[in-house]
Amino acid sequence: MAAIYASDIAGWQDISSSHFVPLRCASPDATFRGSLVPLRLAEDVSLCRVSTGPVLVERTDRLAQRSDNDDVLLSLQLASSGTVRQHGRAAQINPGCATLYETNRPYVLDHLQAGQELLVLRVGRDRLGVRGRLISELCGRTLDGRIPGMAAFSGYLRGLAEDTGIDDFVRPDMARAGAELLTMVLRSFSGLESNGWDSDAALLAAMRSYIKDHLGNPALTVEMLAREHHVSVRKVHSIFSDIGQTPAAVVRGLRLSRAASMLTSRAPGQTVASIGAACGIPDPTTFNRAFLREFGCPPSKWQPHA
């Protein structure tokens, strides 16, 4: 498995287009470098180890329409982080996470962080024992280690990438095993999405617990809740609607309750603004206004039994 190197973004566009599908590539780094180590297992199955600087890769609608390629790609992030966008969804992939995308539709790979290291598995759609519609529904979603079978699948890909002496006669078996493991992961993920929770009450409890554990993150969103619990955004809204609330209202209420608790026992020198930031409301004006609306007094005047 000899590495192929690119010394600029134009060269990288040529290399990636020839090993995957025609793509457009851009980079903010004038000294961009990239390398690709390909492993061909079968005509419709291959694995590439990719190392690059910051890069934005786009499969435009025009490129997708002009091609008859119907392969499915899976990116497993090894180092740095990125975002894969397809079908109106955005999958954040950190080391150990993966995402699926199909080549017959437009997609964007936002790998603008430096030090990109990833494995890209290409599999012919017919290899997967999953309905075509379901494949599309699973694209642009984050696949992580909590999905049954994901650890075995990612370990298999890592092992393939590190094996430098794979004989030709075993490659068809390895291609079949890779496709079967991917099918298992997709079926597992689909099961979590559709009926992975014993009840709506269990899902609600899990989401409330997650919110409490991440109140300090100002970027906590409905999309994040959906992604972390492997359900749709619509499902998240539906669960909270059943108890007469919205996700945003629950997050806001829990943040303000925690802020009130912290204000009650704040240490000398601890500012009101720092407490607001610790509860996920970094803007002092927003924190003051929300607290006043909730408790009838500004946070600076809060008393335990106000």
* HEC readout, 167-214: CHHHHHHHHHHHHHHHHHHHHHHHHHHHHCCCCHHHHHHHHHHHHHHC
Instruction: Please indicate, yes or no, if residue 306 is contained in any of the structural domains.
Output: no
Q: What is the pLDDT of residues 35-54, one digit of tens each?
A: 999 999 999 999 999 999 99
> How many CB atoms neighbour CB 11 within 10 A?
16
Whether 114 has a pLDDT exceeding 90, the answer reads yes
* Closest C-alpha among 230, 48, 46, 70 to residue 138: 230
pTM to 2 decimals?
A: 0.64
Claim to verify: residue 178 and residue 247 sit in the same structural domain = no
Residue 177 shares a structural domain with residue 90? yes
User: Residue 191 belongs to a domain with what CATH number?
Assistant: 2.60.120.10
Which range, of 110-119, 192-201, 208-217, 287-296, averages the lowest pLDDT?
192-201
- With 70 as the cut, is the pLDDT of residue 304 above it? no
Q: Which residue in this structure is represented by tokens 């492993």?
A: 39
**Residue 152 covered by a domain:** yes
Q: Do 229 and 181 reside in the same domain of the chain?
A: no
The answer to whether residues 291 and 264 touch, using CB atoms and an 8 Å cutoff, is no
Note whether 108 and 241 are same-domain residues: no
The mean pLDDT value for 262-283 works out to 91
Bigger pLDDT: 230 or 108? 108
- Domain stops at, among 158, 173, 195: 195
Label residue 197 by pLDDT band (50, 70, 90).
low
Listed in sequence order, the residues at least 6 apart from 132 whose beta carbon sits closer than 8 Å to its beta carbon are: 125
Q: Say whether both 20 and 164 belong to one domain.
A: yes
> What's the rounded mean pLDDT across residues 92-113?
96
Q: Give yes or no: residues 161 and 244 share one domain.
A: no
Instruction: Look at residue 110 and tell me whether its pLDDT is greater than 80.
Output: yes
Task: Please state which of the ranges 7-16, 99-108, 165-174 shows the lowest mean pLDDT.
Answer: 165-174
Integer Rg of the chain from CA: 23
Q: What is the pLDDT of residue 251?
A: 94
Q: Are residues 152 and 219 in the same domain?
A: no
In angstroms, rounded to a whole number, what is the distance separating the alpha carbons of residues 152 and 158?
10
198 residue type, one letter: D
Q: Compare 305 and 254 and report the one with higher pLDDT.
A: 254
How many helices and strands in the chain, by DSSP H and E? Answer: 11, 12
**Do residue 155 and residue 281 come from a single domain?**
no
Where does the chain have alpha helices with state H? 9-19, 61-66, 132-138, 150-162, 171-195, 200-213, 222-229, 233-241, 247-264, 272-278, 284-295
Q: Is 53 helix (H, G, I), strand (E, B) or coil?
A: coil
Q: Work out the mean pLDDT of the chain and round it to a whole number.
A: 90
Q: Give me the domain span that covers residue 177.
A: 4-195
Q: What is the pLDDT of residues 213-232, one digit of tens each?
A: 899 999 899 998 888 777 78
Is the domain of 126 the same as that of 22? yes
Which CATH number is 288's domain given?
A: 1.10.10.60
Q: Which of 66-75, 182-191, 263-272, 292-301 has the lowest mean pLDDT?
A: 182-191
Note whether 212 and 225 are within 8 A (CB).
no
Last residue of a domain, one of 137, 163, 195: 195
Q: Could you tell me if 178 and 218 lie in one domain? A: no
How many domains in the chain?
A: 2
Residue 262 domain-assigned?
yes
- 271 pLDDT band, cuts 50/70/90, is very high
CB within 8 Å of 42: residues ≥ 6 apart:
171, 172, 175
Amino acid residing at 292: L
User: Is 143 part of any domain?
Assistant: yes
Question: In this model, does residue 166 exceed pLDDT 90?
Answer: no
- CA distance linking residue 249 with residue 123, whole number of Å: 43
Specify the pLDDT at position 188: 82
- C-alpha span between 105 and 69 (Å, rounded): 10
Residue 192 has pLDDT above 60, yes or no: no
Domain C-terminal end among 156, 175, 195: 195
Is 56 inside any structural domain? Answer: yes
Tell whether 127 and 164 lie within a shared domain: yes
Query: Contact 16/27 with Cβ under 8 angstroms?
Result: no
Q: Above pLDDT 90, what percent of the chain?
A: 64
Is the pLDDT confidence value at 195 over 50? Answer: no
Mapping DSSP to helix (H, G, I), strand (E, B) and coil, where does residue 217 land? coil
Q: What is the pLDDT of residue 53?
A: 97
Same domain, 82 and 231: no
